[in-house]
Amino acid sequence: MERGVRLIGNGQAPVHKYWEDLLKQIQKGTLDPLQMVSHRVRVEDLDKVYYKFEKKEEGMQKVFVETKFSLPACPGSPPLTRY
């Protein structure tokens, strides 16, 4: 994570190069994107989660940040952690 992160796309990953192939694999069921998500947290808890993520505490590797606009958690996603 970076300090001062804005919640817009910033082009850190070459998504356009791989997204079509990855989407096909997800649709076939050969790739599960949830295997990399370790935690699901509320946006209100980000100040506490940031330092835990930075130190890799509690096994944090990829964190889904839930906002008021987020859809309900899908089957297989980590439970919502409150700090």
Count structural domains, the chain.
Answer: 1
Q: Can you give the residue range of the structural domain that contains 38? A: 34-83
Kindly indicate the confidence band of residue 69, based on its pLDDT and cuts at 50, 70 and 90: very high
Please tell me the predicted confidence (pLDDT) of residue 26.
93
- Is 68 contained in some domain? yes
- Is 57 contained in some domain? yes
- Is 4 contained in some domain? no
- Is 18 contained in some domain? no
- Is 59 contained in some domain? yes
Q: Is the pTM of this model over 0.85?
A: no
- Is 49 contained in some domain? yes
- Whole-angstrom Cα distance, residue 25 to residue 14? 17
Please tell me the predicted confidence (pLDDT) of residue 1.
56
Cα 46 to its chain centre, rounded Å, is 13
- Is 26 contained in some domain? no
- Whole-angstrom Cα distance, residue 36 to residue 28? 18
The tokens of 39 are what? 């935690």
Burial 52-61 (b: 16+ CB within 10 A, else e): bbeeeeeebe
- Is 5 contained in some domain? no
